[in-house]
Chains A and B, each alone.
Chain A
Amino acid sequence: MAVTVLFLGPLRDMAGCQSVDLAAPLDWDGLLAQVDAAVAEQLKSERVNVACAGKVLGDKRTLQARDGDEVALLPPVSGG
C-alpha cells in the first residue's frame, strides 16, 4: 500500500501524469520533495489546495497521509 497523489486540472499537464504512488506515511515536506519541481513550486502557492482522504486541509502544511489515503492537489477552480 502507499499514498496515491492525484494531480487535478492544469497540474496534471505539469506533472505529466494523472497520479503517482508515494510511500506512506507522507507529510508536506515529503510531498514537495517527491513531485516535479514545477509542481512543487505551484504547491507552495496559496492558490493551490490539498485534500487528503476526501477532506480539504485548512493548512496543507499539516498533511499527514497514511497508507491507502488519496491526496489530491487542487489548483484554482475554473468555476462551473
Chain B
Amino acid sequence: MHDIRLSDARLDPSVCLAALDQATHNAGGIASFLGKVRANDRADDGVEALELSHYEPLTLPGMEDLGARASARFSLMGLVMVHRIGMLYPGDPIVLVAAAARHRRDAIAAVDFCMDHLKSAAWFWKREKRADGWHWIEPRASDHEDLARW
C-alpha cells in the first residue's frame, strides 16, 4: 500500500495510520513521524501562521519518486506520505510519514530517510507570519547535512 499525496485540508494522522494498519496486517511493525507547526512559548517571536506553497508538476511526482526510492532501499509492506499545503497554524500537523515492515529497522529507517529527503529536497516553499509580518523560510545547512547521512 502506497498512500502518497498532498492535502489542503487538516491532516488526521489517526485515519492515515489506521488505514496503513488495516492494509498491512502481516507487518511486524509500523513506524511513523508526524511533523507539526511548532508552537512557540515566547510571545515576541511566536509564529502565528505558516503558509506552504508548492508547484503541482514537481511536488507530488517528487514525493512519489522518493517513496519509490524508499521502497527500493528498505523492505517495506506499506508507506504513507501525506503533506499539507496551504495555511497552517501552531499545533497543526504538516506532514505524516509512516512505514510498515516485517521488521522494525526497515520501518524506522524508511521514515527517517523520507523525512530527511522531504526536509531538504522536496518542492515546498514556506513563509511564516510573525507579529511583524510575513517571512520566507530559508533552507538550513543542517537539512543538507542530514541528507548526507544517506
Known: A51-B57, A72-B57. A77 touches B121 (CB 8 A): yes
List 20 A–B pairs whose Cβ atoms lie within 8 Å, in order of A's numbering: A6-B55, A8-B53, A8-B125, A9-B53, A9-B125, A9-B136, A10-B125, A10-B127, A51-B55, A54-B57, A74-B55, A77-B121, A77-B125, A79-B119, A79-B120, A79-B126, A79-B139, A80-B35, A80-B94, A80-B115
Tell which of A13, A70, A77 touches B123, judged by Cβ atoms closer than 8 Å.
Answer: A77
Q: Is A62 an interface residue (CB 8 A)?
A: no
Closest approach, in angstroms, between the C-beta of B95 and any C-beta of chain A? Answer: 5
The complex places the Cα of A19 from the Cα of B28 at a distance, in Å, of 49
Residues of chain A lying within 8 A (CB to CB) of residue B58: 51, 54, 56, 72, 74
A78 within 8 A of B: yes
Binding site for A on B (CB under 8 A): 35, 53, 55, 57-58, 83, 94-95, 115, 118-127, 136-140, 143
Q: A9-B136, A10-B136 are in contact. Are A78 and B57 (CB under 8 A)?
A: no
| B143 surroundings in chain A (CB, below 8 A) | 79
A9-B124 Cα distance, complex, nearest whole Å: 8
With A8-B55, A9-B53, A56-B58: A75-B83 Cβ-Cβ less than 8 Å = no
Query: Is A25 at the interface (CB under 8 A from chain B)?
Result: no
Chain B facing A: main interface SS: mixed
Q: Are A80 and B124 in contact (CB under 8 A)?
A: yes
A-B Cβ contacts below 8 A, count: 62
Task: Provide the bound-state CA to CA distance between A44 and B102, in Å.
Answer: 48
Quick one: given A8-B53, A80-B95, A80-B118, are A74 and B123 in contact (CB under 8 Å)?
A: yes
Most chain B Cβ neighbours within 10 Å, of A6, A72, A79: A79
